[in-house]
Amino acid sequence: MDFVFMIPNTEEELKTQLSEPGSFLMTGGTDLLVKVRIGKIKPKRVVSTIRIPTLHFLKDKIDEIVIGATITYSELMDFKPLIKNFPLLYDAIYTVGSPQIRNRGTLVGNVVNASPAGDGLLALYLLNAKIEISDGSVVPVEEFVTGPGQTALPSGEYVRAIHIPKYDWSVHYFEKVGQRNSMTISIASVGWLIRCKNRIIDEFRIAYGSVAPTVLRLRDVEEFAKGKHIDEDFTHSISKMVEERVHPIDDVRGSAKYRKILCANLVYRMIEEGTKC
């Protein structure tokens, strides 16, 4: 591979090295190096973040957790507050690749890669996560991701951390449908969070992956669900709404038509979920 590889030790060095044209940031390399390998990108320099101590941290605060840019999926899964407060995120990243991928890959890489199929990304959309950028700004993930593979990251800047606010949910659910069980990119994925009592919904969030240019939060469905009783009728209505709102494409993994039906059908898992509140 025909490029220079740099491993800065501080954020200052990182910033200087990033300012050179043709520089690409790399953390785990599980997305970047595959793109280099297949010739999709041709970097002049690859700048790695992995030696920078100030980017390698996990914080458990009263109202949020903060995940540093170089924390791998495996490190995150070992972080006790994650499974306690964000089981949805845990379930989603447990499906990412294999242990080999999770030992190197990062949630921040998943965000910046901005794939509509990003499993960590889908959970972050549902959890209203915020992205901390090196220029000091903190942006909601939904604004940070602007399109497939596109973000609002200003050139020469990098992501420092992800902030996820804590909130009590009664029910969480994540499911990814792929062509096989393991090491699979989703044909469609879904996640939801429900706050409810005696099957009556107090608050509801739902998002789909791989059915639009970005992960899709269905805000009007979320509004509609408020105050409703979780039963079959409710699920029928939601399912219909979902079918009208997702706009998938045909690709190698599945047809648009199949994806639409799949998304509508996935909603029926909720009937069982309702019994948990």
Ligand X SMILES: Cc1cc2nc3c(=O)[nH]c(=O)nc-3n(C[C@H](O)[C@H](O)[C@H](O)COP(=O)(O)OP(=O)(O)OC[C@H]3O[C@@H](n4cnc5c(N)ncnc54)[C@H](O)[C@@H]3O)c2cc1C
The contact set with other proteins (CB under 8 A) reads 1-7, 29-30, 33-34, 37-38, 46, 48, 50, 74, 97-101, 103-104, 181-183
Query: Which residues are registered as beta bridge partners of 172?
Result: 193
Alpha helices in 65-184 (DSSP H): 73-77, 80-85, 87-94, 99-102, 107-113, 119-126, 141-144
Classified as helix, coil or strand, 204 is: strand
Q: How far is CA 89 from the centre of its chain?
A: 8
Interface size with ligand X, residues (CB under 6 A)? 31
Give residue number: closest CB to ligand X: 109
Closest distance of CB 201 from ligand X, Å: 28
**Residue 252 exposure: Cα atoms within 13 Å on the Cβ side:** 2
**Which among 5-13, 96-104, 140-148, 269-277 is the span making contact with ligand X, rule CB under 6 A?**
96-104
Closest distance of CB 275 from ligand X, Å: 29
Q: Which is nearer to ligand X, 94 or 268 (CB)?
A: 94
Interface with ligand X includes 26 (CB under 6 A)?
yes
Work out what residue 261 binds among other proteins, ligand X, none; the CB cut-off runs from 5 to 8 Å by kind.
none
Interface with ligand X includes 188 (CB under 6 A)?
no
Binding site for ligand X (CB under 6 A): 24-32, 34, 49, 69, 95-97, 101, 104-106, 108-110, 112-113, 118-120, 153, 158-159, 183
